[in-house]
Structure 1
């Protein structure tokens, strides 16, 4: 079974969060997960919910701040094994093109 999550971890403070976000992302390398970071967060793919939750917890704990805000959205479809690429391809098949703008500024 494959489980997906959308993860956003950030300290609650002013200024750049790049160092803190990098610390959170680096923690994911200690787990058997695939991930891709974009400007709004990170999508994580794991073989099981326990691995996913452990990785998310480690990423949250990696941010060394007085207050940390973490948003997690989990997709756990138990009746079908699928990967992230398959999900995007299904949408692109319906669109008849890649699921991004022609200008690709994002």
Structure 2
């Protein structure tokens, strides 16, 4: 799995929660595993191509919702030596915090 963090911001808006809600609905519709955080959204997808297709759709959705300008930031963790999931990364850190 590829782990992807992305941030889509419709510029010039005071509140973006309604836009974020529509992106979450899109991810649900796509059946994508995701985690919404206070500052971004993280998702797991099979390939980088899948990630870009979903992010492009979410980016374009902002314009359909009335945004005039949109800024999108993407960060990709593509590990090929073994399978990793979002919770594996968090678990690894927490084990070290607890001295494990």
Shared fold (TM-score, shorter chain, > 0.5): yes
1:29 is matched with 28
**Structure 2 gaps, min length 5:** none
Structure 1 segments of 4 or more deviating over 4 A? none
TM-score by length of 1: 0.82
Partner of 1:86: 88
Once the two structures are superposed, what CA deviation does each residue of 1:20-73 show, in whole Å capped at 9, x if it has no partner?
A: 121222222232421011110101111222221111111111112110011110
Q: After TM superposition, list the pairs within 5 Å mapping 1:43-62 onto structure 2.
A: 43-62=42-61
CA gap of 1:48–1:32, structure 2 versus 1, over 3 A, is: farther
What TM-score, normalized by structure 2, do the two folds share? 0.87
Alignment coverage as a number of residue pairs: 96
Structure scoring higher RCO (CA < 8 A, sep ≥ 6) equals 2
Q: Residues 95 and 49 (structure 1 numbering): CA distance in 2 closer, same or farther, change over 3 Å? A: same
